[in-house]
Amino acid sequence: MKKILTIICALFVICSNGQKVTIKYNGYTSYFDLQNNIPDSVTWTITKEHLLSSKTPRGNKFHSTDGRKDLNKDYAHSGYDKGHQSPYDDNYYSPDAEYQCFDFVNMVGQRHILNAQTWEHLEVFSRHLALQYDSVKVKTSWVGIDTTIGVDKVVVPQYCIKELWYGGKYEKYIIPNNDTCVKHPFTYYKVN
């Protein structure tokens, strides 16, 4: 399976003549594609210090800023979750970071099973590493277009990717954005 996913990723070439913008927030940096209406990638660092700080209550207020499209209607009844790339649990250390993590520049459409189970388990694992190693650098991205949703044609990826750097180590996971992803633990999708 790992070899197949690596080959698939090598074969996909994502072409876009859309405009890309870099958005730097307190908790993460998004490289957002205005044509696809999702980030090409999101990067951030999980720190032990932030994880041990007091929690800002979760607001759940999905929004767009700086004149970008509000994509709430696109996701409504689509069958896809608004999948945080940099999650609330990595951003609760300040009200600004918590609010910014609910911006659509930090979302991709994910099947609920992926978002709430396999991806979530990988997020918990990443935080565990940050507590153990003091910090973890994280990059999320995607490959392949499964479909689009809503009038704004928000791209839904075929595969969601998470890369981790910690304690001199590197790990990469490529997980299919479908309900079958729960057939295996997230560790099955490690490709390096």
- Interval 100-156: pLDDT, tens: 999 999 999 999 999 999 999 999 999 999 999 999 999 999 999 999 999 999 999
Would you state the pLDDT for residue 125? 98
Q: Which of 6-10, 14-18, 92-96, 107-111 has the lowest mean pLDDT?
A: 6-10
Count of all residues that appear for the chain in the document? 192
Gap between the Cα atoms of 4 and 95, Å rounded: 42
Please report which confidence band the pLDDT of residue 10 belongs to, taking 50, 70 and 90 as the band edges: very low
Distances (CA, A) of 93 to 3, 9, 88, 145, 167: 38, 35, 9, 34, 23
Specify the amino acid at residue 96. Answer: D
Find, among 30, 66, 29, 27, the residue nearest to 50 by Cα: 27
CATH number at residue 143: 3.40.570.10
* Residue range of the domain that includes 26: 2-189
pLDDT at 17 over 50: no
> Confidence class of residue 18 from pLDDT cuts 50, 70 and 90?
low
Across residues 14-30, what is the average pLDDT?
A: 81
- Is 63 considered catalytic here? no
Segment 77-102 shows an average pLDDT of: 96
Phi then psi for 149, rounded to 5 degrees? -130, 150
Burial of 64 (0-12, 13-18, 19+ CB in 10 A): middle
What pLDDT sits at residue 9?
39
Residue 30, token pair as written in the block:
């998004």
Q: Are 86 and 27 in contact (CB under 8 A)?
A: yes
pLDDT at position 36 is 97
**From 63, 77, 84, 128, active-site residue:** 84
Nearest to 140 by CA among 154, 160, 124: 160
Domain count, the chain: 1
DSSP of 115-152, one letter per residue?
IIIIHHHHHHHHHHHHHHHSEEEEEEEEEEEEEEETTT
Q: What is the pTM of this model?
A: 0.90
Residue 5 has a pLDDT of: 42
pLDDT band at 192 (very low <50, low <70, confident <90, very high): confident
- C-alpha–C-alpha distance, residues 157 and 27, integer Å: 23
Q: How confident is the model at residue 11 (pLDDT cuts 50, 70, 90)?
A: very low
